[in-house]
Structure 1
Amino acid sequence: MAKADHLDEKIVQVNQRLKAAQLGLQIERRHTKLNLRGTLPPRPASAKLRPHQQRLCLGLPATPTGLKQAEQEVKIIAGQLLQHSFDWHNYLTFSGGKRLSQMNLAEQLQAFEQHFLSELPRQSNPAATKTTWNSAYAPYVRKLAAIAAEHPSLTLVEAIYKTVQATELNSRSRQLCCTTLSALAAFLMLPLPHDLKVLAGEYGSRNVRSRQLPSDEEIVSHWKNIPNPAWRFVYGVMATYGLRNHEVFFCNFSSLCQPKTARGDTMIEVLPATKTGSHQVWAFYPEWIEEFELRTIQLPDLETDLTKTTLQRIGQRVTAQFRRYGIPFSPYNLRHAWAVRTIHFGLPDTVAAKMMGHSVAVHTRTYHQWITARDQQQAVDLALSRRGVPEQWAGNETIR
């Protein structure tokens, strides 16, 4: 107890020197550790915009030696604040109370995952964030760890470049790898000699493989061949509303239970727990609501508690059922067919993109390229019929 009292007296003396130097920071003892207290910039992901009073864990022991180190640390931080170069990432601690500089690679990668899932401003939809991590980021973090372990003589920067080069150029995997490792390098404050965007190559509409989407007749035909009513409902909703695999299980279907004549009775609401959050969708075609018996709402008994499962696993179950029932196309092809259908109907891209839960740029880049010769002929016939062009000019006849 006497030792603690003696140290507290020394802390008072140090703080008097810091105050006289007008550094605006003080040292305090919290149990067996020393902290800094003062006006600091907002932490990452903080809702506050201006500097305010905060504590910073120095990670130093509450001992005379620790106090000497703390005084020097305070002077360094005060200098950073004056030069506007202070960065919280230099001082944040993660599991085990370690700073990034004190961690090995495995611990740094774990801290990056922790940061991605909890620190970034995505908390309005944590389930979607977890799905994004598992499907888009985690594979390349694991790949980096494996390459670093296989080649221990490489520096982390060299291992990052080797991981990128291990993916196919101009591919989706190369793009995701560069995105993931760029974010990791920024998190670790690790300078890269060359921006990974340079190595990402080109991946976009020119690189997406063309798809042979099912016709409307094929969609109806395969629905009839599904023996389970609950899975018929899933199939029918995806076809009618263009939903993602998992979204079917996170929808408000109450409007379908209203009288058929009610205004807006074809609209359903996708709930916030999904990949892109809450949005409303309308049926294309509305008559499929009756044909697919969607007013009788019945879903398969799947685990949808996102504390026990993920959106990705739910989507995988849907894909597995499609295979089980011998459906010759993927669930996503129902979504793609819905998107192309809205183009034929003349629905503005801004509206269709909002219903699908993505940007207009993604919508036009992804879906307009899939309009086949068959689709173009249908669009021509529809356009000519609206203008009252003689019937013999439409179809496969040459327009003179």
Structure 2
Amino acid sequence: MNTEKSQNLILTRDGIIEVIEATEENSAARQRACKHFKNFVDYTGLQFDIDFEKLGGNYSNRTVDQKAKSIIIPSDERLVEVIDELPDDPWKNIYKVGLIYGLRNHEHFFADRTPLKEGKDYILIPEHTKTGFRYCYPNYPEWLDEFELRQAQFPEEIEDFRKQYEQAPQRTSDSVESTELGKIVSGKLKLHKYFPGGRYYFLRYAWVRRSTIDNPMGEEEASNSLGHSVQTHRNIYRRWISVEDFRRSYERFRNNPVRAAAPKRSKRN
């Protein structure tokens, strides 16, 4: 990541616009970038003629609904198959962690995976990050051993960054840095080669699908694990679950031999 370049860019009007326009249009990331840059410009008193509201575009439940209708999240079976198709290097383990825990792409640079080596099932996101300290849990704990993650090797770029981060724990990651770090992960994995749409965040949406349909988890617990509010979980993330997913969940519930039986009508004399 070229930190020096980023620091120079934010001192010019064109540089600010360039960084903002590098994010996806009509996205939460675009709106966050506009918000932080506007605060920066207001705080420093710089006289830049930038229409942050227009640059931010439209990101709402309706926007997510429109995207959800046009995008199909790959099945877990397909997402697991991709593991064997990825190049056999440490970035494959980043994919596995994203699949199991639903991390944001940039969070791989901060995640503390030490608990895995100690035989625990969770990983940790440290305090001075976008969402603050949290535990992240898997939907399928058995994947940790099946995918050999407890003693896995991870990319040098990520391990070196984490060592530097641990030496300056009071430094908070900002949205611009997070965006750049996320691009590194997405660029290395190149998931567009393996399924339509090919976005890293499909791994995160698949985690939500699992926690809602396959191995149901309470909304509060799932939201805490992913690092967002229950409202965001309910209004944004669950919209990526298809009608077919919900139908499959109902059929499994309906055919469950141990589900509670309906009360019988009492017989009238």
How many angstroms apart in 2 are the aligned matches of 1:326 and 1:199?
30
How many angstroms apart in 2 are the aligned matches of 1:178 and 1:256?
37
Q: Report the equivalent of 1:203.
A: 59
Q: Report the equivalent of 2:233.
A: 363
1:223 to 1:325, Cα distance in 2 relative to 1, 3 A: farther
Matched, 1:232 2:92: yes
Q: Report the equivalent of 1:142.
A: 13
Q: C-alpha displacement at 1:338, in angstroms?
A: 0.5
Describe the superposition over 1:326-347 as per-residue Cα deviations: whole angstroms up to 9, x where unpaired: 3332221101111121112221
Q: Report the equivalent of 1:113.
A: none
Describe the superposition over 1:72-129 as per-residue Cα deviations: whole angstroms up to 9, x where unpaired: xxxxxxxxxxxxxxxxxxxxxxxxxxxxxxxxxxxxxxxxxxxxxxxxxxxxxxxxxx
Residue 331 of structure 1, aligned match among 188, 200, 203: 200
How many angstroms apart in 2 are the aligned matches of 1:251 and 1:335?
15
**Hey, which bits of structure 1, 4+ residues long, moved more than 6 A?**
196-201
How many angstroms apart in 1 are the aligned matches of 2:183 and 2:34?
26
Higher relative CO (Cα under 8 Å, sequence separation at least 6) belongs to: 2
Q: C-alpha displacement at 1:217, in angstroms?
A: 0.6
Q: Report the equivalent of 1:48.
A: none
1:174 to 1:221, Cα distance in 2 relative to 1, 3 A: closer
The letter of the residue matching 2:199 is S
Determine which structure has more spread, i.e. the larger CA radius of gyration. Answer: 1
What pairs up with 1:172-183 in 2 under 5 angstroms? 172=27, 175=31, 179=35, 183=39
Residue 121 of structure 2, aligned match among 250, 266, 272: 266
1:283 to 1:200, Cα distance in 2 relative to 1, 3 A: closer
8 Å Cα contact 2:191/2:199 also seen in 1: no
SS in 2 for 1:274: coil
Please report the RMSD computed on the Cα atoms of aligned residues, expressed in angstroms.
3.8
8 Å Cα contact 1:271/1:279 also seen in 2: yes
Give the count of matched residue pairs.
221
Q: C-alpha displacement at 1:233, in angstroms?
A: 1.1
Q: Report the equivalent of 2:263.
A: none
Greater helix content: 2
Identity %: 28
SS in 1 for 2:63: coil
1:179 to 1:324, Cα distance in 2 relative to 1, 3 A: closer
Residue 219 of structure 1, aligned match among 74, 79, 101: 79
Unaligned runs of 5+ in 2: 18-24, 46-51, 260-269
How many angstroms apart in 1 are the aligned matches of 2:124 and 2:30?
35
8 Å Cα contact 2:116/2:123 also seen in 1: yes
1:316 to 1:388, Cα distance in 2 relative to 1, 3 A: same
- TM-score, normalised to structure 2, is 0.67
SS in 1 for 2:124: strand
The letter of the residue matching 1:238 is G
Unaligned runs of 5+ in 1: 1-129, 147-169, 190-195, 260-264, 390-400
Describe the superposition over 1:298-338 as per-residue Cα deviations: whole angstroms up to 9, x where unpaired: 1011041358x944333222111221893332221101111
Q: Report the equivalent of 1:378.
A: 248
8 Å Cα contact 1:246/1:274 also seen in 2: no
How many angstroms apart in 1 are the aligned matches of 2:112 and 2:37?
38
1:226 to 1:144, Cα distance in 2 relative to 1, 3 A: closer
- TM-score, normalised to structure 1, is 0.47
SS in 2 for 1:280: strand
Q: Report the equivalent of 1:314.
A: 181
Q: C-alpha displacement at 1:177, in angstroms?
A: 7.9
